[in-house]
Amino acid sequence: MDVLYFAWVRERIGLPKETIDTQAATVADLVTELRAREERYAMAFEDLSALRVALDQELSEFDAPLDGVREVAFFPPMTGG
Amino acid sequence: MEVRVQDIPFDFGAEAQSFAGRQSNMGAVVTFSGIVRDTEAGLGAMEIEHYPGMTEAQLTKFTQEAIERFKLGDALVIHRFGPLEPDEMIMMVATSARHRADAFAGAEFLMDFLKSRAPFWKREVTREGTSDWVASKDSDENALGRWENP
């Protein structure tokens, strides 16, 4: 699946998008997998309360299942307007 | 209904005039625009990042919701991304309704959702060149609460 990062999440991880092969059942499982990869991921996902997640471009929750999801995006709370 | 996400400036006066001119039998048009303001540290620029695709989808969803909920005749949302200078317009909304209360409420509803549910992220760059992401405000998140019970 495609994983996208925005704003400071993108900066901490150092890339805007990557394709990941994963068996993670939920968003939280995917986060655990990413954290274990490298320090920069651990830093980006240090505090989940500071992060939001979208599944296939719809806002979602960290306990949501990844079944059939093609695009996951992680980003800080939005500051539009 | 019209939703535009663009990196180029827009002409607020022309957009407002054109929006008002397209309405028929609407007694009220409300417009709001958000402008880049200076900061204590001295703002050099504001940079706005967004999530192409999701931004348009979210804006369309909220705008549709505002039209249904407040019986708006029409609604327009324009939001910029990319680098902006102080005093430039970031975004605008326009709503029309038969009466002003619905036009005002529709515009406020759209603004509250734009603030915390549209995937935009602002970064402020000081005149010295240092930069920081703008933190979200609890007050913006809490503002959504008032729309929970239709």
Contact with chain A for residue B125, Cβ under 8 A:
no
Q: Is residue A12 predicted with pLDDT exceeding 90?
A: yes
Q: Is residue B150 predicted with pLDDT exceeding 80?
A: no
Nearest Cα residue in chain B from A7: B121
Q: Do A76 and B123 touch (CB under 8 A)?
A: no
The predicted structure's pLDDT at residue B95 = 98
Q: Which of B75, B9, B13 is closest to B48 using CA atoms?
A: B9
Contact with chain A for residue B54, Cβ under 8 A:
yes
Contact with chain A for residue B1, Cβ under 8 A:
no
Domain extents in chain B: 2-145
> pLDDT tens digit string along B32-57?
999 999 888 899 999 999 999 999 99
> pLDDT tens digit string along A61-76?
999 999 999 999 999 9
Contact with chain A for residue B135, Cβ under 8 A:
yes
Q: Is residue B119 predicted with pLDDT exceeding 90?
A: yes
Pick the CATH number of B2-145 from 1.20.1630.10, 3.30.70.100, 3.90.1170.40, 3.30.470.20: 3.90.1170.40
Q: Do A7 and B133 touch (CB under 8 A)?
A: yes
* B119 contact residues in A (CB cutoff 8 A): 6, 54, 73, 75, 78, 80
Buried b (16+ CB within 10 A) or exposed e, A15-30: eeeeeeeeebeebbbb
The span from the CA of B76 to the CA of B91, in Å, is 11
% chain B with pLDDT above 70: 99
Class of domain A2-75: alpha beta
Q: Is residue B115 predicted with pLDDT exceeding 80?
A: yes
Buried b (16+ CB within 10 A) or exposed e, A33-60: ebeeeeeebeebbeeeeebbbbbbbeeb
> pLDDT tens digit string along A24-63?
999 999 999 999 999 999 999 999 999 999 999 999 999 9
The predicted structure's pLDDT at residue B149 = 77
> pLDDT tens digit string along B42-98?
999 999 999 999 999 999 999 999 999 999 999 999 999 999 999 999 999 999 999
The predicted structure's pLDDT at residue B39 = 87
* B121 contact residues in A (CB cutoff 8 A): 6-7, 75-76, 78-79
Domain extents in chain A: 2-75
Q: What is the average pLDDT value for chain B, to the nearest integer?
A: 96
Q: Residue B60 has which token pair?
A: 């369309």
Q: Is residue B20 predicted with pLDDT exceeding 80?
A: yes
